[in-house]
Structure 1
Amino acid sequence: PPERVLPSFVSTTMSELSDTDIVRLGVNAYIFGYPLVLMELTKHKMTTRPNKFHHRFATPDHNFRQVVKPNCDTLYSMAFLDLSDGQPVVVSVPDSNGRYYIVQCMDAWSNVFESIGTRTTGNKEGHFGFCGPSFNGTLTGAPKNVTRVDCPTNMAWLVGRARLNGPDDAPAVNAMQRQFGMTKWEAYVGGKVDSEGLDAAAGGSKGGEPKKEVAEMSAATFFDTLAGLMKDNPPSPPDLEMEADLKKLGIVAGEAFKPSDHVLKLLDEGAIPAAKGKIPMLPGPAPQHSNGWFNAEDTYPIGSYGKDYHARAFIALLGFGANLREDAVYPILRSDSEGRPLSTLVDGAEAPLVAYKLHFPLGTIPPVQAFWSLTLYDAADYLSENPINRFCIGDRDKLEY
C-alpha cells in the first residue's frame, strides 16, 4: 500500500531557530517572566518567613527600597503564602471598627485574585481559607465560619493596608495590625489562631532593591530562576502558547536552564537589553492625558492582566503591587502645566529650587470614599528625600480651602 506521512509531534528545537528567532523569543520570555522573578526577589527582601504577617508599624521614608511607589496613607501588613504542601492557610482579620482597610491578594504572577476588606467583605471580623492549586478537599470542621479562597499558584503575596489618620493614629492602627492572623489549616481546625506577626523594621525583612537585583541578573540566572519558579507556580491555561515558546528556548518548568554559550550570548547581548528597553515603553495605545496627568487605570487592566504580558511587566516595573482600579487609582504627573519635567525628576543633576502649585477649583477635591493624597517620588519611583521629611499631603492634613 502507498505510504502516508503523519505530521510530526515534535516541537521546534533550539537548533532549528535562527539567531533572530532566539532574540525575539527571548524578549517575549523576559517580559512574560519578569513579574514572577520580581515576585520571588520581593518575597526574599520583604519577609523572612512564609505564612506569617510582617507588619510595618510606621510609614516608609526615602530609605524604603523594597517596592516602588509606597504610600504614606496606610500602614502595611504583608505576607507571602506558601501553599506547596497542599495544606490551606487561614487568614484572620479583626473588626476594624469602621476603619478603611484592604488585604490585596496577588498570585505569583502579580494578578489580583482576591481583595478582602472594607469594599468587598466589610469591616467585621472574618476568616478566609486560602487553598492552593493542589488542594481538592473541603474546609469543614473549623470552629469558625471560613470563606474559601482559591489561589491559582502556590505562592501568593498578601498586602494589607489600613488607613492612617495622621501620626497620632499609629497606635490604634498598630493594635489592629497585631490582630491579623495566619494559621495553617490543621492548627486552625484544632482551635488555634496564630496572630504572632513580625516587625518588618526590626529584623522581619532583609531590605534591598528587588527591582535592581532583577535588572542585574544574567540570562542564565533569570531564565533558570523562572523555570524553577514555574514548577510550583505554573502559568494559567490561556498562557499555553507562551509556554510553548518558552520550551523552544529550553525554559521548562522545574528543569535547569542549560542552553549553549551561543544562545546565552544572544540572550545576554540581544534579548535582555531589548526587553529592558521595551518594558518601560507604554504598551498599547497612547493614554489620555489631562494637563500632564496620566491615569494608568484608564488604559491598562491593572491587577487583572489576562494575556497582556507587556502591561503586566510595565506595572511590575513601575508600580509593583498596584491595586485593582476598584480599590485605588493612581494619577501620575511628571511635568508641569507647560510640559517641563518636574525638577525632582532630574536625576543626578543640581536641579533649581522650584515652587509648584496644584490648584483644585471650588468643589473639585478628589471624590473618594476612603482617602486621597499627593505623594512625592524621585526618578526611581521611591519616596523623594527632602529637608522637612514630608513625603505626602492629603485629606487628613489640616488643609484650608
Structure 2
Amino acid sequence: MADAAKPIAQPATGVVMFPEYAKAIATLAFIWGWPIVNQYNRRVAMSRVPEPGRLNGILPAAPRSRVGMLYDYVEPNQNIITCPNQDVVYGFAPLALDEEPVVIQVPDFGDRFWVYAIYDARTDQFADVGKQYGTKPGFYLLVGPNWKGEVPAGIAGVFRSPTELANMIPRVFLDDTDEDREAIQLVINQINAYPLAEYDGTVKQTDWRNAPALAGPQSDGGGETQWVPPETFFDQLPAILDVVDPLPGEEALYAQFRLILDAAAKHPEIKAAMVEAAQEAEQQIIKKFFEWRHNGRPAGNGWNRSTNNARWGIDYFNRTAGAKSNMFDNKPEETQYFYTDEDADGAPLDGSGSYEVTFPAGQEPPVDGFWSLTLYNQHHFFHPNPLGRYSLGTKNKALQRNADGSLTLHAGAKSPGADKESNWLPAPDGHFSLYIRAYWGKQAILDGSWQPPKVARKG
C-alpha cells in the first residue's frame, strides 16, 4: 500500500520533450483555456474606451470598473457577440476586482424583470442579483479574491469573485412598445457602476440615450469577432494561469500546462508544435461547438437545452461550447436556453422552406419572467429584415392565437400571409437556427418536463 504521506512527484524539469507530446497537451490546454482567453480579450477590447458609451454605436462598453448601458434593444448589425436577444436592455461592465472593488447600483425596478449576471474569468456567475432573488434596491460591492478592505456604511451586500478578472452584464426586460421604451428610461438611468473610492451614498444617474458612440473591433466575413487567435493563444496562457487560480483538482492540469510552456520558451520546435495544435483544435473541435447539437443535452422534439450554464465548474465540454456558440449564458435558474438547427425530421432549417412552431394552449414556456423565440442566421446573428423583427414572445402584444388558444409562430424567408404576419420571424435565404429563452423558468423548465414543440416544415 502506498504511503499516503509521501509527496506526489511533480512534472520533471530538464526533460527532453518531443514535439508530439507537447502538441497533445497543448490541445487540451487550448480547449480548457479558450473561454478564459476569450473573456480576457473581451475585457481588454471593451475597456479601452475613454468613457461609458456604445461600441461602434451598437453595444454597451465602458472603461474598467464602469458600466455602459443601452437604452433600447441591441441593434441587429453587431458582430462582437453571438446570440444577442431583443427582449432586454443590455449593459456591460469590465472589472479588474483586485485593482479596485466596484460599487453597483440597483434601482427600484418595480414589477419589471431584471437580472445582473456577474461572471468570473471562467464565465461562471458568482453573485445572485436580480428580481428572482428578491434583491432590494441599493448599493452593492463587488470585490476580488484577495481584497481585505473596509466595507463602508450603506452597502447592502458584498459579492466576492473567485478571480480578479470579471464582468457584469445587466439585463432589463423591455416590452416592444413605445410606452415601455419611455417608461424604462427612468429605471436604467440609475444603473451604474464605479470604483469604491467614488462611493458617497448618493445615486449616480446617467441618461444612456446620450451616451457617445465609440470605436471598437470589427469582424470580417460575417462571423463573430475573433477573440481567441490560435497563433497567440500560448503567448497569453501564462498570464491566465497566473491570475486564475486552479479549481480543486485542476492543480495537475496547471502543472502540465506550465511544463509545456516552459519547454516552448526554450525550444522553437516545441512552440511551433503547440501553435499547430491550437490551429488544428480551432478547426476540428472549436468550430463544431457552433452546431447546437454539440451544446448541452437533448430536450425533446429535435431541440437541445443548455446544461451547467454559467456554473460550468470542470465541465470543459459545455463551457467551451457555450463560449463559442453563445457567450455569457445566465445560470439555469435564471434562464434556460433551447436551440436547434434542424426541423422535426432532422433536416437543416433553411429559408427556402416555411416552418411552424405551435405551442398548444397553456403550454408556452412556463416562466415567472419572460420567454421568446429568436431566429438567427448561420453566424448566430440577427437577419436584418424589413419588419425589424428578430424574436417573438412575451414582449409582443399583437400575437394572434388560434381558435383553440394555441399559438403558432412562423419562420421562413417568405411571408406566411398577411393574416399571419404578426407571428412571423423572417429568415435569410440560407441556413438559420431557432432559439428559445425561458427567463426565470418554473419547475417544468428546470426539471426538463416541459419540452419545446416540434419545428414543422410546411409542404
Letter in 2 for 1:325: P
**Aligned runs of 1:293-372 on 2, under 5 Å?**
293-296=303-306, 300-344=307-351, 352=352, 354-372=353-371
State the match for 1:135 in structure 2.
Answer: 147
Question: What is the aligned-residue RMSD (CA, Å)?
Answer: 2.8
Matches within 5 A, 1:79-228: 79-85=93-99, 87-122=100-135, 124-139=136-151, 141-142=152-153, 144-168=154-178, 169-188=180-199, 190-191=200-201, 193-196=203-206, 202-204=212-214, 206-209=216-219, 212-218=225-231, 221-228=232-239
TM-score, normalised to structure 2, is 0.74
Output the CA distance in 1 between the equivalents of 2:197 and 2:134. Answer: 25
Change (3 A) 1:233 1:193: farther
Q: What's the CA shift string for 1:313-333, capped at 9, x where partnerless?
A: 111111100011101111102
Higher deviation after alignment, 230-239 or 366-375: 230-239
Does residue 277 (structure 1) correspond to residue 290 (structure 2)? The answer is no
Contact 1:111 1:304 in 2 (8 A): yes
SS of the residue 2:175 aligns to: coil
Structure 2 residues without counterparts, runs of 5 or longer:
1-5, 50-62, 402-459
TM-superposition CA deviations, 1:1-48 (whole Å, max 9, x none): xxxxx9996623474333332111101111111111111222244442
CA, structure 1 residues 236+196, in 2 after alignment: closer, same or farther (shift >3 Å)? farther
Shift of the alpha carbon at 1:395? 2.1
Normalised to the residue count of structure 1, the TM-score between the two structures is 0.84
Identity %: 25
Q: Which moved more, 1:39-48 or 1:64-73?
A: 39-48
State the AA in 2 paired with 1:369.
D
What is the deviation of 1:105?
A: 0.6
Q: What corresponds to 1:288 in structure 2?
A: 298
How far did 1:201 drift? 7.3
**In terms of mean alpha carbon deviation, does 96-105 or 332-341 score higher?**
332-341
Deviations 1:270-304 (A, max 9, x none): 343125422335899983242211112xxx31111
- Residues 180 and 61 (structure 1), Cα distance of their counterparts in 2 relative to 1, 3 Å cut: closer
Indicate the SS of the match to 1:78: strand
Q: How far does residue 75 in structure 1 lie from its aligned partner after superposition?
A: 0.4
Instruction: Give the residue type in structure 1 aligned to 2:93.
Output: A
Task: Assess if the C-alpha contact under 8 Å between 2:295 and 2:321 holds in 1.
Answer: no
Pairwise CA distance, 1:211: 5.2
Distance 1:208 1:233 in 2: 28
Could you say which residue in structure 2 is the equivalent of 1:58?
Answer: 72
Q: Cα deviations across residues 89-133 of structure 1 (Å, max 9, x unaligned)?
A: 1111100011110000100121111131101133x4122111111
Aligned equivalent of 2:250: 239
Deviations, residues 360-397 of structure 1 (Å, cap 9, x unaligned): 12221211111111111111111123343211111222
2:372 aligned partner, one-letter code? S
Q: Which amino acid in the other structure matches residue 160 of structure 1?
A: P
Q: Which amino acid aligns with 2:69?
A: H
Q: Distance in 2 between matches of 1:284 and 1:356?
A: 23
Contact 2:42 2:227 in 1 (8 A): no
Q: Give, as a single letter, the amino acid of the residue that structure 2 aligns with 1:114.
A: A
- Between the aligned partners of 1:197 and 1:147, the Cα distance in structure 2 is 26
Decide whether aligned partners of structure 1 residues 316 and 182 sit closer, same or farther in structure 2, where only a CA change above 3 A counts. Answer: same
Q: Which runs of 5+ in 1 are unaligned?
A: 1-5, 345-351
Distance apart, 1:205 and its partner CA = 6.1
**SS of the residue aligned with 2:261?**
coil
Measure how far apart 1:258 and its partner are. 3.0
